Every structure is written in C-alpha cells, then in structure tokens.
Amino acid sequence: MNTKIILASTSVYRKEILEKLQLPFDCLSPNVDESPIKGETAQALVLRLAKAKAVAGAKLYNTINNNLDTHKKDVNNNPETKLDKISYIKSGSNEIQPAVIIGSDQVAVIDGKIVGKPHSSDKAIKQLQQASGKAITFYTGLSVIHSQTLQAFSLIEPFTVHFRELTLAEITRYVELEQPLYCAGSFKAEGLGIALFEKLEGDDPNTLIGLPLIKLIQLLKKHDIQVL
C-alpha cells in the first residue's frame, strides 16, 4: 500500500512549496500552541514546534482514519448507512492507508532576539527599520513522522537574509504595497520583498518561505518515499 503524504499546516505558502515536488498530498491543521518556553532558543523553539505539529498531525490523521474505519465496518453491516467518500481510506480495502506527516515551524532572529509577526503596519515599519543594513537569520524546524510506526526524522535549517540600507520612504512604500503583516521579519521573499535585500545566504531559498525542500526530500527518502 502506498504511503500518503500529509502536510500538517494551513499555510498557503508551505502548500505552494510542497506542490513543487509534484507528489499528491493533503493538509491538516495541527492546532499546536506556538508560545515559546521561557529561555528557549530560536533553534530549540522551531525544532520543538515542528515535532509537535508532526505528532499532532499524526494523531489527527489516525483519529480520522479510526473513525472512518469504524464507520466503514458499520456500513458493511448496514448498507443503508451513508459513508462519505474521504481519501484517507484506500478504496476497496478495510486497511488504513499509512502516511507520513510533515511538520514545520520558522522564526526569525535579529540582534540575537526572536522577531515575530508584526500584525500591524506600524510594527512592520519598525521591524524593517531595525533590519536595515543588517542580517536576519531564519531558523526552520522540519519533522517528518510515520503515522503507524511513529518513527520521526527532524532537523533545523538556517537561512540568512542580508538587508541593504533602507530609507523610511522605501520601507513605508513596501509595507503599503505588500502588507506583510503576518510574516516573520515583515517581508515576503517570494514577492516584492526581494527588493529589500542585498544578498541571500543559505542552501535552499525555499527555506526562507517556510519549507526547506532539499532537506525534506532527504527526510522523505528515509521513509522510503522517492520524489523521482
């Protein structure tokens, strides 16, 4: 039986990145508390949350499948019972389809401090003023867990953005145009945010958007899933 791929995220950007691999997958919301623990480093935070999201996704996937499996058995005993056509159970089989669940989390660090999402234009402008002429390092935690064996492989991938010297007018104009209010660091690298940078430093530009594909391919291979 083929192994299903589940992305434990509701992020549109992570979904778009994963689609580059041209593998079928579904998305689940992991519903994990992302609050940092006092004294926790950025690296420890993203690794913990990536693992937590993958585990939560696996539990949710298994719960859905167990409920559907029970429902399917009820249908066999009572043909009048309706069974919704949901892809989590392989058609024509009572066996639950195994899956690998991908969890990912990312934070940005500038001047040794974690930078969150601004949530307002004023805070976005202040964040970009702080970043002007400096480097921001993004740490992305990645975890891939098997739904049945619960075997997990996890890692942390860094990526650094070097900002050019920015004027207040440039910053204000950028925030007005792109409204990066829910992006750590107050920019969208996949959009106009590229105009803010002097250079990028890292192994995989997808990491900056939230999902390091090169490392993900390696972790999927550990679960016997080949991209090519």
Would you please indicate which residues are annotated as catalytic (active-site) residues? Answer: 105
**Burial bucket for residue 115 (CB in 10 Å: 0-12, 13-18, 19+):** buried
Distances (CA, A) of 94 to 57, 68, 71, 204: 22, 10, 11, 40
Residue with tokens 């925030």: 175
Contact 143, 109 (CB under 8 A): no
Contact 17, 211 (CB under 8 A): yes
Alpha-carbon distance 111 to 85, whole Å?
51
